[in-house]
Amino acid sequence: MLNKEEVLAQIERNVKICQKCRLCKEATNAVPGEGNINAKIVFIGEAPGETEDKTGRPFVGRAGQLLEKALSKIGYKREDVWIGNIIKHRPPQNRDPLPDEIEMCKPYLEMQLEAINPVLIVTLGRFSMNYFIPDGKISRDRGNVIRSGKYHVYPVYHPAAALRNPTMMQGFLDDFMGIPKVLVKIENERENIKDTTDLTDQDDGQLGLGI
Ligand code: URA
């Protein structure tokens, strides 16, 4: 069986040769995602932009610089977290991804998240939020933890949108500052559930002994 690192490396190889949709035709490089594969937090954006397309790395342009700055405010470096996108090739002229492109790319992110198994998924922008929460509304749901299947999702504005709009910038930074508390809360809840399960297991054992 492949270990986590091997699984992610295999997904990366598959992404790099992917021709499942039209986007690979005009893109220079695929951008599979990168970072700490044991991270508790992953950040998921929309699709590579120009700099990402040139380098094959996620969030390395202006939006990426803001992301790194926001990360540093909560005590993280980009190497501490995992960063990816729902779409792995740049859409021409940074147009919005089309529904069939999102659909084709879906299995890659699904497998990446399955392997990393993060405590918290921070979605950057509307497209990424709607990937996990189809009826989500960014202006309403940002800064709130929402359950999506087995994942805890925390939507924030896209850093590129924050760079264009001072009100969104404030919202983006405020929501970002909430991340450490959110993480602790989810971990505590998990710990409580584990404790309750352990107790139930013990009770079962005692009953089994006829006590
Ligand atoms: N915007 C995104 O959504 N993703 C990137 O990787 C860069 C910019």
Q: Specify the pLDDT at position 62.
A: 98
Q: What is the pLDDT of residues 97-143, one digit of tens each?
A: 999 999 999 999 999 999 999 999 999 999 999 999 999 999 999 99
Of ligand 1's listed atoms, the one at least distance from the Cα of 45 is 3
In a domain? residue 6: no
Mutate to test the pocket of ligand 1, among 51, 59, 128, 138 (most ligand atoms within 8 A of CB): 59
In a domain? residue 147: yes
| pLDDT above 70 (res 33) | yes
Q: How many angstroms separate the CA atoms of 113 and 4, rounded?
A: 11
In a domain? residue 100: yes
Q: What is the pLDDT of residues 144-189, one digit of tens each?
A: 999 999 999 999 999 999 999 999 999 999 999 999 999 999 999 9
From the CA of 210, how far away is ligand 1's center (Å)?
A: 60
In a domain? residue 81: yes
| pLDDT above 80 (res 51) | yes
Q: How many angstroms separate the CA atoms of 93 and 19, rounded?
A: 19
Q: What is the CATH number of the domain that holds 184?
A: 3.40.470.10
Q: Specify the pLDDT at position 112.
A: 98
Helix (H, G, I), strand (E, B) or coil at 64: helix
The stretch 77-89 carries a mean pLDDT of 98
| pLDDT above 70 (res 204) | no
Of residues 196 and 199, more confidently modeled: 196
Q: Specify the pLDDT at position 154.
A: 98
Of ligand 1's listed atoms, the one at least distance from the Cα of 83 is 6
* Residue position matching structure tokens 């299995």: 107
In a domain? residue 9: no
From the CA of 203, how far away is ligand 1's center (Å)?
A: 50
Give me 200's structure tokens: 């139930």
Ligand 1 binding pocket, CB closer than 6 Å: 45-49, 52, 58-59, 61, 63, 85, 160
Pairing verdict, β 120-124 and 146-148: unpaired
Q: Specify the pLDDT at position 9.
A: 98
Q: Residue 60 sits in which domain range? A: 15-198
Of ligand 1's listed atoms, the one at least distance from the Cα of 125 is 3
Q: What is the pLDDT of residues 56-69, one digit of tens each?
A: 999 999 999 999 99
Q: Specify the pLDDT at position 197.
A: 76
In a domain? residue 29: yes
CB contact at 8 A, 104 and 21: yes
From the CA of 59, how far away is ligand 1's center (Å)?
A: 5
In a domain? residue 206: no
Please tell me the total count of domains within the chain: 1
Q: What is the pLDDT of residues 35-46, one digit of tens each?
A: 999 999 999 999
Q: Specify the pLDDT at position 202.
A: 59
From the CA of 164, how far away is ligand 1's center (Å)?
A: 15
Residue 96 DSSP symbol: P
| pLDDT above 90 (res 194) | no
In a domain? residue 177: yes
Q: Specify the pLDDT at position 190.
A: 87
From the CA of 56, how far away is ligand 1's center (Å)?
A: 11
Q: How many angstroms separate the CA atoms of 106 and 157, rounded?
A: 21
Mutate to test the pocket of ligand 1, among 57, 78, 85 (most ligand atoms within 8 A of CB): 85
Give me 35's structure tokens: 């970072």
